[in-house]
Structure 1
């Protein structure tokens, strides 16, 4: 009887040790998997599309003085698709779609000559997408060269700084040309500062007021390309960034200069690659749809 009890105790003890060991192993495995999942970076894709071209005949308006007097420059006018496992964001919307198939149009003051070769719907087809497939639309700001196709994204949620929303929906602005392209955007999420779109640090809207009351830039943390910043119109071309040049038509010089300080500090902190959205060189450096940066 004693031998039987002893044998039973040994069997139970052995089983308990075995179960304990397995429990420790399973616990370690679970913890390791959780750590790997936490450190594994979410893959985000950045598609760059063509929203038109702008010939600036009076480059001096992009300065507070006569720095660019008598000069002209051709601007790119890109817009972007950001693919995230949790959703899809359109960043900016190019020039007016009415320009597609038309001769270049010159503004009455002669400052700009604008053109656009292709519509957003046509370009999205190359990616097997349509406007209804977008969860969000965010505009760096509500000037005409960034809102052209916005009306087609009425089903998406518009991520906009409250100051920009209040500005563009004012009675004065509603009478102008900038309001009409965004009038259809009725699903609105108003922001007051930086906003982490997917709550994981990979796609962050950065509040950078000054060019307009609620101007914003976009930060992306990409798996292969690393940290990336899209400037909106904080800068229009490389010299603007080098000299901290502020266009004559900006809403606030003081706010613009502060935003430049904040932007550069953030870019340095993240060691981010900066893409100036109107820079033809930066536009050409990015892969074009259906290729992407990731």
Structure 2
């Protein structure tokens, strides 16, 4: 009889608590995309050193991405500075701070465990200082460049919490952020010395390849354009090849962070890809 009672107790534990745990546990990482500012470009000529797109005007956006994982929360790029919300400038506007986006998802800034930066340009690091307790992940060559900037340079000031001693990992090569291949920083130098793209593997939606500034809009990707302001043309072209090779090999969905069309094709905030 005692043996029977023990068996029944074990069966009850298996049926109820484990089932409840399965309902609560995430089935896998999720990806939520949202706008972190808009940038009007009055002349796209500088986005290709072969003189394409000269004279074309276009509105681009600053795309930000939140990857929720059982091991942490990764914020990929942080868009424009909150100061622009108060005072738009140079064709740049910001309507909603990242903290407000997080609140809509039931999260606080302190819940962000990692801030991943594709590169040090100000339209990708603008909101970073709102997450001083997170671990900063940035290409080592970019981090070295940031450290060389003088005080007052926004590309330095926006990363001040980590320059002052916050947890920072200067990434050399690729980095598997959570250790299971679900979110991988990919070294794509050329736009800046330590520029990175991000590969996210989702259980249902599959692989998603997020561009950083490897490309700024679809048409420039189609022609493999190299912006005049990139630091190294040869590295840029090699990174173009790598980016496209990974996209083909994995059948990945490509998201160009600055292209409103690619962002609009993702589930509208606050919905997520899973």
The CA deviation at 1:191 is 1.3
SS at match of 1:60: helix
1:92 to 73, 77, 82: 77
The CA deviation at 1:66 is 2.3
Does the 8 Å contact 1:168/1:174 carry over to 2?
A: no
Gaps spanning 5+ residues in structure 2: where?
Answer: 1-25
2:222 matches 1:242: yes
Structure 1 CA distance for aligned equivalents of residues 129 and 102 of structure 2: 15
Cα-to-partner distance string for 1:74-123 (whole Å, 9 max, x where unaligned): 10211011001111100000111111144x311xxxxxx11011111111
> After the TM superposition, which residues 1-294 of structure 1 pair with which residues of structure 2 at under 5 Å, given as runs?
43-102=28-87, 104-106=88-90, 113-170=91-148, 172=149, 174-185=151-162, 186-294=166-274
Structure 1 CA distance for aligned equivalents of residues 206 and 264 of structure 2: 19
Does the 8 Å contact 2:47/2:225 carry over to 1?
A: yes
Structure 1 CA distance for aligned equivalents of residues 151 and 89 of structure 2: 23
Cα RMSD of the aligned pairs, angstroms, is 1.4
What TM-score, normalized to structure 1? 0.81
Does the 8 Å contact 1:167/1:173 carry over to 2?
A: no
Cα-to-partner distance string for 1:249-283 (whole Å, 9 max, x where unaligned): 00111111000111111111111110100011001
TM superposition outliers: structure 1 runs of 4+ over 3 Å: 172-175
Deviates more, 1:185-194 or 1:203-212: 185-194
Does the 8 Å contact 1:42/1:202 carry over to 2?
A: no
Aligned length: 246
The CA deviation at 1:65 is 3.2
Gaps spanning 5+ residues in structure 1: where?
Answer: 1-40, 107-112
The CA deviation at 1:176 is 2.1
Structure 1 CA distance for aligned equivalents of residues 151 and 175 of structure 2: 26
SS at match of 1:250: coil
What TM-score, normalized to structure 2? 0.87
Structure 2 CA distance for aligned equivalents of residues 291 and 173 of structure 1: 40
Structure 2 CA distance for aligned equivalents of residues 175 and 213 of structure 1: 21
SS at match of 1:129: coil
